[in-house]
Amino acid sequence: MKRISVELVPRSEEAIREELQILHENFDCIDIINVPELLRYDVHSWEGAAIAQESYSAAMPHIRAIDIDLDRPLFMAKYLVEHKIKEVLVVKGDPPQDMNHTVYPTVTTDVIRKFHEELPGIRVYAGIDQYRGSMRQEEYRIRRKLQAGAAGFFTQPFFDMRYVEMYAEMLDGLEVYWGVSPVMSARSQSYWEMKNNVVFPKGFAPTLDWNIDFSKRVLEFVRMCDASIYLMPIKTNLIAYLSGVFGK
């Protein structure tokens, strides 16, 4: 297996430091920390990544394409260079809930190219959303991102191994971080179904045991394929979930 990535939400500097300490003290198998950019929090993804690099050798901030003005230099470029952040994940980004945040009609492929032009030393990853349309449509988007210079991809969370295997055939030969996120309540399940068009398998249950078992199956698949895994323990007890996944 190549790398294990865990996503930590930067709710505050104190909160992310506490979670980093938990991970660092209990799980020595983690290779990289991913940090999303969420408008409702004051800590930017690149600031959270810099904090994560105090404990881990690698951290990857998420860059929202709709925050980028193509007519101006990348506004976080200086910070990334100064803090020796070598990898980023470019995502589309959700529109803000209010009008206090300026967004642009920028697409991910444009931002990938912009990083290559302005920060050629940074490795740029792109997202895969296996739920927004057909596999043929997503394959076309993947090709476009590769042409723009994407080094690899992070998927949305999977919940069905059959779907993982279908995408594995399509993504053969590419660097992929296979996403897994525990869904621990009926409300969370409904969110994924309504907002992201997820179809859960018949045997799914929003329990810790089901989510640990599925995550372990994806982890074994990733090991067999010599790929990487992307764990997103959102609103989940880190120790309970990751201990189960890693067999501690």
- How confident is the model over 66-75, as pLDDT tens digits? 999 999 999 9
pLDDT of res. 100: 80
C-alpha 220/C-alpha 87 separation (Å) is: 25
Quote the strand ranges of 138-211, DSSP E: 152-157, 176-180
Q: Looking at residues 204-227, what average pLDDT do you find?
A: 97
Give the residue among 40, 8, 34 at the shortest CA–CA distance from 241.
Answer: 8
Burial class of residue 58 in the structure, from the number of CB atoms within 10 Å of its CB (0-12 exposed, 13-18 middle, 19+ buried): middle
Question: pLDDT category, 95, cuts 50, 70, 90?
Answer: confident
Residue 124 contacts residue 91 (beta carbons within 8 Å): no
76 vs 235, more confident: 76
pLDDT of res. 58: 97
C-alpha 35/C-alpha 49 separation (Å) is: 6
Answer whether residue 151 shows pLDDT above 80.
yes
C-alpha 19/C-alpha 236 separation (Å) is: 12
C-alpha 171/C-alpha 139 separation (Å) is: 9
Q: Looking at residues 40-51, what average pLDDT do you find?
A: 97
Question: pLDDT category, 106, cuts 50, 70, 90?
Answer: very high
Find where tokens 């723009």 sit. 148
pLDDT of res. 83: 98
pLDDT of res. 26: 96
End-to-end CA gap in the chain: 18
> From the centroid of its chain, how far is CA 247?
23
Answer whether residue 98 shows pLDDT above 80.
no
Tokens, residue 27: 């799980």
pLDDT of res. 97: 80
C-alpha 121/C-alpha 149 separation (Å) is: 12
The pTM of the full predicted model, rounded to 2 decimals, is 0.96
Q: Looking at residues 13-18, what average pLDDT do you find?
A: 97
Confirm or reject CATH 3.20.20.220 for domain 4-246, answering yes or no.
Answer: yes
Tokens, residue 142: 């993947």
Answer whether residue 188 shows pLDDT above 80.
yes
